[in-house]
Structure 1
Amino acid sequence: MTTTVPTHVQQQPRRVRPRHYLMCPPTWFDVTYAINPWMDPRLPVDRERAYAQWSALVAAYRAAGHRVDLLDPVPGLPDMVFAANGATVVDGRTLGARFATSQRAAEAVAHRAWHARFGVLYGGRALADPVAVNEAEGDFAVLSSVVLAGYGFRTNLAAHAELAALTGREVLSLELVDPRFYHLDVALAVLDSDTDQVAYYPPAFSARSQAVLADRFPDAVLADDADAYAFGLNAVGDGRNVFLPVGAGHLRDALEARGYVCVEIDTSELLLGGGSVKCCTQEIRPARSEEGDPR
């Protein structure tokens, strides 16, 4: 369902910059193990429904003018639909993933093969194999001036230094303290990477990291408990549109009040695996142009 912002609540014009996403169909999606607090193997999964929800997200991206490439799903890897965890691409430089759990380890191989084959199409400059554990865009949020990097449950602090060395970007480490928000992308959302606009849920972070966020992003949108538990921060922003799961009403209203268009997607079946909109979406960020494109 798409919610259009009434003119009278728009605070400033928002600009869409076309994005390039990599996604993987939930062909083999299932919950046969529990590696996060949201997974329960006792609950049945409706794979057909999951596929329909994922397809609606793909259609919404394409309708907004974004490019979506597809990664072939691999039998026996039920979490491959959560493509955000497979690699991080910044300025055409790609850091592969190294998963914290054995159940997902083989996904990194499939992602590396895709980037090795197709990196030339997006101006790939380098493809680095990780040394430290990192779960890619699950814990890396890329802005124009900085990469926000989560740690505490999955990605190791040492991986933050690897990404900084590969990309030459500042990497700002943020400690996650609530196991329900085990990845940064369920505690913080990038609304507009070009202007460094974010939304986040303060209780997911340590007191020190909350202070860092408040200082660095004084105008951030703050999510409430209901938003966070509905996975509302597992969202994707393109500068104007914010694609987010159904159920985060407070967050939706706050975003609309700031001039964003909220595109709500039903991801209830995918939530059984502990993921939603952002988890399904890996962004391919090409090299910056000579004209100073902030990508």
Structure 2
Amino acid sequence: MLDVAAPAAPARVPTARRYLMCEPEHFTVEYRINPWMDPSRPVDTGLAVEQWTALKETYERLGHRVDLIDPVPGLPDMVFAANSGTVVEGRVLGARFRAPQRAAEAEHFRRWFLANGYRDVVMPSRINEAEGDFAWTGSLLLAGTGFRTDPQAHAEAQEVLGVPVVSLQLVDPRYYHLDVALVVLSEDLVAYYPEAFSPGSRRVLRRLYPDAVLATADDAACLGLNAVSDGRNVVLPVEATHLAEQVARRGFEPIPVDISELRKSGGGPKCCTLEIRD
């Protein structure tokens, strides 16, 4: 029998990105708005700052630009910048949070965008938690719903951003946002955890991405899919070893980071990272 070599993985090309982040100076877990949060567990804010700083420096080392928004006392989850805006081709759709504890974050981010020259900024009428549930592929906006974002916010996003939207239904409360169940690796490839989605949404994902990387339960449980890809480098939690192996086989370079302290609030690298697409 002939020994047929496996096809070589395609060459992956990174593109420089621009990210907005917020230092977790006031990070703590003092309320419970998702299954990961437990106010009775101790939180080391200093360690959270160290891990966040290492994440920021990782982006900079990879050649990406990182802008900062000032943290605000009394808003411990403001570090999760991804939840506060969706930016596509310079258009900004702000956020409207479901949890009252986070509602004030939206206005601080709106002011940041205006102060930094963005004039096409729309604040939503429907609840949407921005890149928590909106994932831009470069051609489609994948949009999650089921726990936080109002399904009617998907139509609002399409109207404001002027891009086609594909709705996906989340069904597992542990994976309450799309960004903890799916990561866009490149325009034509995603990784996702099938059990986080409804049967119909799984069929949609199989149709759109027949060659997708399928994450395991262990990948999902360490929030391994809360990752950030620049088209080649994939920054993901250090515990997501199986997922790292799978993306490496597809030609990507996994970049593991320790974000364990911020995971106590249900966040990972992507939650800390709002991408600005000008």
- Equivalent position of 1:266 in the other structure: 258
The structural deviation recorded for 1:250 is 1.1
TM-score (norm 1): 0.91
Aligned ranges 1:214-229 → 2 under 5 Å: 214-229=206-221
> In the alignment, does 2:45 pair up with 1:47?
yes
Q: Deviations over 1:203-224 (max 9, x none)?
A: 0000000000001110110000
Secondary structure in 1 aligned to 2:195? helix
Cα distance in 2 between the residues matched to 1:141 and 1:127: 18
- Equivalent position of 2:148 in the other structure: 154
> In the alignment, does 2:167 pair up with 1:167?
no
Aligned ranges 1:78-93 → 2 under 5 Å: 78-93=76-91
Asked if 2 retains the 8 angstrom alpha-carbon contact of 1:145 and 1:196, the reply is no
- Equivalent position of 2:237 in the other structure: 245
- Equivalent position of 1:291 in the other structure: none
- Equivalent position of 1:206 in the other structure: 198
The one-letter amino acid of 1:266's match is: D
Q: Identity of paired residues, percent?
A: 57
Name which of 136, 148, 154 aligns with 1:142. Answer: 136
Cα distance in 2 between the residues matched to 1:81 and 1:176: 24
- Provide the alpha-carbon RMSD of the alignment: 1.2
Cα distance in 1 between the residues matched to 2:162 and 2:96: 20
- Equivalent position of 2:271 in the other structure: 279
Judging changes above 3 Å, is the alpha-carbon distance between structure 1 residues 10 and 73 closer, same or farther for their aligned structure 2 residues? farther
Secondary structure in 1 aligned to 2:271? helix
> In the alignment, does 2:174 pair up with 1:176?
no
- Equivalent position of 1:37 in the other structure: 35
Secondary structure in 2 aligned to 1:114? helix
Name which of 181, 189, 192 aligns with 1:187. Answer: 181
TM-score (norm 2): 0.96
Cα distance in 1 between the residues matched to 2:76 and 2:9: 42
Cα distance in 1 between the residues matched to 2:104 and 2:161: 25
Q: Which structure 1 segments of 5+ residues have no match?
A: 1-7, 287-295
Judging changes above 3 Å, is the alpha-carbon distance between structure 1 residues 9 and 50 closer, same or farther for their aligned structure 2 residues? farther
The structural deviation recorded for 1:168 is 1.4
Q: Which has the higher contact order (CA 8 A, sep 6+)?
A: 1
Q: Which structure 2 segments of 5+ residues have no match?
A: 1-5
Secondary structure in 2 aligned to 1:279? coil
The structural deviation recorded for 1:167 is 1.6
Q: Deviations over 1:196-253 (max 9, x none)?
A: 3210000000000000000111011000000000100000000000000111111110
Cα distance in 2 between the residues matched to 1:106 and 1:125: 20
The one-letter amino acid of 1:233's match is: L
> In the alignment, does 2:68 pair up with 1:70?
yes
- Equivalent position of 1:233 in the other structure: 225
Cα distance in 1 between the residues matched to 2:209 and 2:249: 18
The structural deviation recorded for 1:125 is 5.5
Further displaced range: 238-247 or 124-133:
124-133
The one-letter amino acid of 1:225's match is: A
Cα distance in 1 between the residues matched to 2:53 and 2:216: 28
